[in-house]
Structures are given as C-alpha cells and as structure tokens.
Amino acid sequence: MEREIMVRAEGLVKTFRSGDGSISAVDNVSLEIYRGEFVAVTGESGSGKSTLLNLLGGLDKPESGSITVDGREITKLKDSQLAVYRRRYSGFVFQFYNLIPVLNVEENIALPLNLDGHEADKKRVDELLRLLGLTERRYHFASQLSGGQQQRAAIGRALIAQPPCIFADEPTGNLDSANSREIVELFRKLVDEYGTTIVLVTHDANVAAEADRIITMRDGKIVDEKVREA
C-alpha cells in the first residue's frame, strides 16, 4: 500500500554564527515522514535535533531547502503566514511545558484557538481532558499540577486545533521514568487510535523505543535510521 507523506524535507541547511566561525546545526538534511507515523529523533546534545524540529514545526526558517507539511510548502510562507501555520497546523510540545501561568488547564488548552479568534468547542475540550486524564484538573493552574500533568495539558494545547502533525522536543526530559512512560504511552495512543503523526526528539532510549522509526543525528546530519519491526 502506498503510504501518504505528511512531512517532506529536502536539502535543509541551518547555520549559526559562533565566534568568528559558524556551526552547521542542520547540514543538508532530507527526510520523509508518513501520515500516522511516530518518528523519534535521537542523537547527542548539540547534534541538531532541536534545530531540525524547529524548522519542521515552522518555529525557525532554513537558509536553504524546502519543507512541505500536509501538502503545504511552509518554506514559501511569509512570516505572518507562518504564524498562522503554527497556530493551526503545527502542534508543538516543549520540555518545560511552557504553559501560561495565569491561565488554567482548560484555558491553556483553548489558547491556540482563542489566539486565532475562535472559541474552543466545549465537547472537544471535554473529550481532550478525558483523553489526557485531566478532567478533575480543568480549573487548576500550572503551579497546582505535577510535571506529568503539566505536560499532558501542554499536549492538549498542541492537539486542540487538530493539527496534522505534532512536534515534541524532549517532552519527557524533565520527568521521572514513571511520568515519562505515561507521556510516551499517550503519544503512542494518539498515533494508534487517532492516526496522529508525531515527530519527537529525545535522548532517552526507552522513549525512542516506542516510536515506529528512530532517526539518529550527528553533527547536523542524519547518520542512522531504524524502522521498528511490525
């Protein structure tokens, strides 16, 4: 069966200036990610994982190369269009959750839609809270939640606009092993039961092992790829 491509990146280059030299954080990377695939990106610190994810999620722009997500060539978008793309089409999850402290769980989850001038559908929010196990926490603020609960709320925020693809940068990097396990199981469930596409950066082999495919980076390049046996 022909698989549908969700993300296609070709010849991505991103260089940062450092002192009097420069660092190729992403050095001519090409990759394809299928719809409904769970991909883990691993590699040592500084290998370019976050830079690559930021490019794919539209948080940063490459110097050269092209990125197409769900049929949209995001590398052709102007900054204002890219901001809209991020709110509607790219769900980002960060290591430190990045919840807004003055908003409760429900308000944090609804934020991407509100910023876009829409109300969140009450039924959809209820359904998400149930899926995330946060129904009892909907009126709590980040300061009243455990790390695992905060990350689940952040995943809810990434999911509310039903983006075609979720990008997560070390989402378990600040969690203990029990909470890490819970978060990675949640991602697995999103892929298996809802057909979500997930690109997840991690240096935790136990987390990567849950993915369908593991991509390893070194010095800004993809140096290895392993597909999990079905």
Binding site residues, ligand ADP, CB under 6 A: 16, 18, 23, 25, 43, 45-51
Q: Which does 183 bind (CB under 5 to 8 A by kind): Mg ion, ligand ADP, none?
A: none
Nearest distance in Å: CB 186, ligand ADP: 22
Pick 43 or 112: Cβ nearer ligand ADP: 43
Nearest distance in Å: CB 49, Mg ion: 5
Pick 47 or 196: Cβ nearer ligand ADP: 47
Pick 50 or 90: Cβ nearer Mg ion: 50
How far apart (Å, rounded) are the C-alpha atoms in residues 93 and 214?
19
Q: Is 60 exposed, middle or buried (0-12, 13-18, 19+ CB in 10 A)?
A: middle
* Contact status, residue 217 vs residue 206, Cβ threshold 8 Å: no
Sheet holding 21-34, edge to edge: 21-34, 5-18, 64-69, 72-73
Pick 53 or 159: Cβ nearer ligand ADP: 53
Nearest distance in Å: CB 54, ligand ADP: 8
Q: Which does 108 bind (CB under 5 to 8 A by kind): Mg ion, ligand ADP, none?
A: none
Nearest distance in Å: CB 170, ligand ADP: 8
Cβ-proximal residues to 171 (8 Å cutoff; 6+ apart), any chain: 93, 94, 95, 151, 154, 155, 183, 187, 200, 202
How far apart (Å, rounded) are the C-alpha atoms in residues 10 and 20?
28
